[in-house]
């Protein structure tokens, strides 16, 4: 059941890669299926979110990883779903036809095991009503022994360049924190044609059952999300923002958002929009409260729009050097 809220605070409206958003909030890939599952939740309003990212999609259908796929950890969650999906052609021909593109923006999430697969899936979505394409470059490159595309600036740029050739739609590159220099990766992806970034993807982690002396996740390791990763995500957003700011390239900041304060912090660090993912498992209708909290902050601090928050972080002065004592 979808409802429409009239009179949503106009100060929350923004744009991302040219797309109008009712709110800076974006529902993240993998947390709301292909959109239609979540928008049927009673009480959901399309006015509460700016966009919905669809589940990760590959060229051919995938069954995903063996169980267990999800495990709750202190202040977070491990997941190793394994990109279970029905394939790009089915998504475009069957699922997208059931979505109402007048109600909100829908962003496809493209995954692949080769550069050629990324390019082909992007081309399929290019010939669809999808509003933008998010590239998940955290997938393993089968031609390079399983090294994740996102861990190498060279491979990341190759994927972005290939996808750029395949579409005229906005490309949002989802950056992995599991790399040495995320700012350099962002710079290379920007040069290759990325229109925006999503920062960050999950951190790799493991859960162990000590009684059984076995790993809990069927895939042995999984992606850690939730409040536990927020401090890392804030730093990575700020680092990528330094690359993006001169070029006006927007960022979706994400990682552990469960409160309006979290949303505001990500925007201050440089995010133009803020993703909500694992928090939806705790509170499926959290977005309305998040929006209300952000609106209250704007009122209390005299801001006319959420756009004024982007990159407004003030850094402390560098610490004074430690004095040395002779002798």
Phi first, then psi, for residue 34 (nearest 5°) are: -100, 30
DSSP conformational letter for 192: H
Angle between helix axes 182-192 and 230-244 (nearest 10 degrees) is 40
What are the catalytic residues? 139
What are the CA-CA distances from residue 39 to residues 44, 47, 52 (Å)?
A: 6, 11, 10
The Cα 155–Cα 116 span in angstroms is: 12
Angle between helix axes 182-192 and 153-166 (nearest 10 degrees) is 30
Q: Which two tokens stand for residue 209?
A: 């059952």
Q: Find out whether 226 and 203 touch, Cβ atoms under 8 Å.
A: no
DSSP conformational letter for 178: S
């Amino acid at each position: 059941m979808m409802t429409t809220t009239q009179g949503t605070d106009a100060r929350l409206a923004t744009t991302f890669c040219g797309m109008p958003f009712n709110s800076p909030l974006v529902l993240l890939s993998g947390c709301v299926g292909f959109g239609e599952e979540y928008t049927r939740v009673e009480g959901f309003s399309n006015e509460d979110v700016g966009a919905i990212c669809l589940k990760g999609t590959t060229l051919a259908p995938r069954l995903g990883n063996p169980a267990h796929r999800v495990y709750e950890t202190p202040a977070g969650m491990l997941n190793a779903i394994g990109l279970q999906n029905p394939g790009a052609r089915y998504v475009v021909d069957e699922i997208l036809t059931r979505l109402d593109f007048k109600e909100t923006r829908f962003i496809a999430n493209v995954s692949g095991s080769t550069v050629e697969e990324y390019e082909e899936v992007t081309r399929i979505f290019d010939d669809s009503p999808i509003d933008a394409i998010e590239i998940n470059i955290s997938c393993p490159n089968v031609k390079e022994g399983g090294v994740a595309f996102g861990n190498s600036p060279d491979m990341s740029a190759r994927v972005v360049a290939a996808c750029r050739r395949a579409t005229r739609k906005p490309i949002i590159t989802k950056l992995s924190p599991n790399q040495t220099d995320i700012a350099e990766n962002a710079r290379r992806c920007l040069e290759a044609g990325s229109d925006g970034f999503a920062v960050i993807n999950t951190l790799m982690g493991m859960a162990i059952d000590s009684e059984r002396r076995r790993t809990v996740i069927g895939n042995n390791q999984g992606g850690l999300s939730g409040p536990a990763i927020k401090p890392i995500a804030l730093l990575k957003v700020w680092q990528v923002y330094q690359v993006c700011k001169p070029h006006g390239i927007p960022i979706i900041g994400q990682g552990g958002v469960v409160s309006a304060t979290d949303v505001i912090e990500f925007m201050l660090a440089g995010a133009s929009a803020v993703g909500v993912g694992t928090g939806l498992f705790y509170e499926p209708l959290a977005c309305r409260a998040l929006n209300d909290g952000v609106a209250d902050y704007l009122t209390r601090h005299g801001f006319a729009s959420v756009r004024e928050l982007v990159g407004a972080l003030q850094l402390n002065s560098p610490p004074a050097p430690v004095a040395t004592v002779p002798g």
